[in-house]
Amino acid sequence: MFSYIMRRLMFGAVTVVGVSIVVFVVMRILPGDPLVAIFGPEGFTKLSDQERAHYMAQLGLSDPLWLQYVHWVQDIARGDLGRSFFRSESVAEMILRRGPLTAQIALLSVLFSWLVGIPVAIVSALRPNSWADNLVRLTSVLFLAVPGFWLGMLIVLTLLFTFGYRAPLTGASLFTDPWTTLQMVIGPAIVLGLGQGAYIARMARSSLLEVVREDYVRTARAKGLNSRLVIAFHALPNALLPVITLSGVLFGFVLAGSIPVERAFGTPGLGNAMYIAVSERDVFVMQNLVFLYAVVFVLLNILIDIIIAWLDPRIRLR
Amino acid sequence: MTMTAPETGAAPKSQAQTRTSNLPTPPSPWRRTTRSLATFVKRSPMSAFWGLVALAIVLTAVAAPVLAPYDPLKSNFRAMTKPPSANNYFGTDQIGRDTLSRVIWGSRTSLTVAFFAVLLGTTLGALWGLACGFFGGRFDIASQRAIEFMQSFPDLVLAMAIAMALGAGTGTVIVAIAITRIPFGGRVVRSVALSLKELPFVEAARGLGASNMRLMFRHILPQCVAPFLILATTHLGVAIIIEASLGFLGVGIPPPTPTWGNMLSDALNSGLVPPWWLVLFPGLAITITVLAFNLLGDGIRDLLDPRLRGSV
């Protein structure tokens, strides 16, 4: 197990390096001029050549590309994620302030997706092609198609019109004011959880249907075990393995999905910061945020792989 | 795409005719198409129905100039932020543009972007995957690594970064979404190519002196068409959602071009409380379109590759 974890972490380190190169290539080398991004096309044409050179030098953009890359990596290693052009707060501070909110949204939505997806999948898989199964499948297909941010906007509007309620918009920490935080987090979490729940339900259903056909499940039935016990203690644990893997992948997609969803709800999380960075064309903040999202995504995948290996000796001992 | 009742009825009759003749002639391409369509309708009526819906949406996009009752860009300052009425079935926005017309024109942008992004992305990915699977070795290992790096980003984040770096525009949005689709095409086609290149017919062609290019494109590529089609249709829905999200986040196709994402973004920017009709209709359009393409994709997958039926 230890060697497995080490191997996985080493691959992860390689991936993080690769990811940093991809981020750098996308943000710096692709044919968009950062000054155009900062000043806008009109502002850019108004700048004189001297001013352009001055700004480029100030931003460290006239160095050769490999040097820029090295500087960037050094900055990240020192924990200096730079500053926004438009705000006094440093990016690191912003991540620390806004990150927890997004993390809570993501965790809560994963929890929610399991609470919805798994029971529904069990009902569905126990009687394939029954009306309940068809209903479940139809609903899950529907929720795969509904864009989360639109659902979010509808929820905000409905609450506002029917109850005159709007979730608080300014930050509170989980420890000092859990009730306010919950109100801010619950909406995005439900929206994102429903979308994930649809995937989870589909995966859990097909995986359960497969496992139920296995010999050991038939043996358990044959020795006279109650069919519910067989499902709960024999079939379900094995059927959940692919669901856990999927859930890990979905976790990463929730982080991305929370960008538009947080905008729809007006939640001041990291996703909203990403939206602001994009709309202000704040290249450097964006570069670091994209890198952060990717690193979290990679770490999550490693974590999931380790959990799966821990749960499934077939992988651990290979 | 013409799944009409007469054709469904025609298929069994043609079978009977072939049986009565002494030498069964191979069915003409036209008949083969109608017959496979008939099986499609019979086997999965749901998918066939949603295929019709998808067709209707495509036709709407093509015929947008005819169907839209008003100019989607023209403001009518005497009817600003008006709820749905007999004049404007879907209401008007803050500067008096007709929402129905904008939703109809939005389908054009959405579908164009999704179609070209998926075509470009999966084709590039497929060619790359074909080369990886066929040549193997170091090239394959390096490519797999590169693909892994690309897949270490959530789709939307990568698309946002690329769209932002390239600057706003239809072309950039297409490229941004296409790049996020490359790994999927690559993986699928690579695995097909890997399993095919060891088969006797490829060996035989090689023995006859066929070049690598000929082997790849004449012998292996045709076998990859079915998985490619399945992949492409299932990714259309994803591409539409990403396009809408990019528009919503302000890195999509710049306004005033009507896209569903832009419309939702405009609604949110209009004030503290967005009018409900500006939120409801564009989102409904996204949902129905994605639903139609997803279910059509499921149906095509079941038809072309029955082994995958019922899987996620």
List, for residues A55-84, the tens digit of each pLDDT value: 777 776 767 778 888 888 888 888 777 776
Q: Mean per-residue pLDDT for B179-205?
A: 87
Tokens for B150, please give them.
């690309």
| A78 CA: distance to closest CA in chain B (Å) | 23
pLDDT band at B6 (very low <50, low <70, confident <90, very high): very low
> Which pLDDT belongs to residue B243?
92
Residue carrying the six token digits 């806008």: A40
pLDDT band at B242 (very low <50, low <70, confident <90, very high): very high
Residues of B in contact with A247 (CB under 8 A): none
A vs B, Cβ pairs < 8 A, gives 153
Judge whether residue A247 has pLDDT over 80: yes
Q: Mean per-residue pLDDT for B176-183?
A: 91
Q: Burial of B16 by CB count in 10 Å (0-12 exposed, 13-18 middle, 19+ buried)?
A: exposed
> Which pLDDT belongs to residue B239?
92
> Which pLDDT belongs to residue A111?
92
Rounded to whole angstroms, how far apart are CA atoms A78 and A67?
16
On whether any CB of chain A is under 8 Å from the CB of B150, the answer is yes
> Which pLDDT belongs to residue A161?
80
pLDDT band at B212 (very low <50, low <70, confident <90, very high): confident
Judge whether residue B224 has pLDDT over 60: yes
Judge whether residue A157 has pLDDT over 80: yes
Judge whether residue B238 has pLDDT over 80: yes
Judge whether residue A109 has pLDDT over 80: yes
Other Cβ atoms less than 10 A from the Cβ of A209: the count is 18
Q: Mean per-residue pLDDT for B230-237?
A: 86
Judge whether residue B19 has pLDDT over 60: no
Other Cβ atoms less than 10 A from the Cβ of A66: the count is 9
Q: Which of A147, A120, A122 is nearest to A135 (CA)?
A: A120
Nearest by CB to B154, from A36, A157, A255: name it. A255
* Buried-state track B293-311, b at ≥16 Cβ within 10 A, e below 16: bbbbbbbbbbbeeeeeeee
Question: Helices B99-135 and B170-196 meet at what angle, rounded to 10?
Answer: 30
Distance of CA B221 to the CA centre of its chain: 21
Q: Is A71 in contact with A79 (CB distance < 8 Å)?
A: no
pLDDT in tens, A1-54: 788 888 888 888 888 888 888 888 888 766 656 666 666 666 777 777 777 777
| Nearest chain B residue to A300, by CA | B152
Q: Mean per-residue pLDDT for A269-280?
A: 86
> Which pLDDT belongs to residue B30?
80
Enumerate long-range contacts of A93-97, CB under 8 Å, 24 or more apart: A94/A273, A95/A270, A95/A273, A95/A289, A95/A292, A97/A171
| Nearest chain B residue to A301, by CA | B152
Amino acid at A165: Y
Other Cβ atoms less than 10 A from the Cβ of B77: the count is 7
Higher-confidence position of B81 and B108? B108
Residues of B in contact with A301 (CB under 8 A): 152
Amino acid at B307: R
Amino acid at A97: R
pLDDT in tens, B251-300: 888 888 888 988 888 888 877 778 888 888 999 999 999 999 888 887 77
> Which pLDDT belongs to residue B44?
72
> Which pLDDT belongs to residue A301?
87
> Which pLDDT belongs to residue A173?
65
> Which pLDDT belongs to residue B11?
45
Alpha-helix residue ranges (DSSP H) falling in chain A: 2-24, 34-46, 49-58, 65-77, 91-126, 131-145, 148-163, 178-212, 215-222, 227-229, 236-265, 270-279, 283-311, 313-316
Nearest by CB to A18, from B149, B167, B273: name it. B149
Whole-number mean pLDDT of chain A?
83
> Which pLDDT belongs to residue B13?
47
Residues of A in contact with B182 (CB under 8 A): none
ipTM: 0.86
Whether residues B149 and A15 touch (CB distance < 8 A) is answered with yes
Tokens for A267, please give them.
């939640």
Whole-number mean pLDDT of chain B?
81
Whether residues A157 and B237 touch (CB distance < 8 A) is answered with no
> Which pLDDT belongs to residue A33?
65
Number of residues that make up chain B: 312
State pTM to two decimals. Answer: 0.85
Distance of CA A185 to the CA centre of its chain: 15
On whether any CB of chain A is under 8 Å from the CB of B161, the answer is yes
In sequence order, what are the residues at sequence separation of 6 or more whose Cβ sits closer than 8 angstroms to the Cβ of residue B238?
B155
Q: Is B232 in contact with A244 (CB distance < 8 Å)?
A: no
Higher-confidence position of B77 and A134? A134
Q: Is A78 in contact with A222 (CB distance < 8 Å)?
A: no
Cis bond before residue B200 (omega within 30° of 0): no
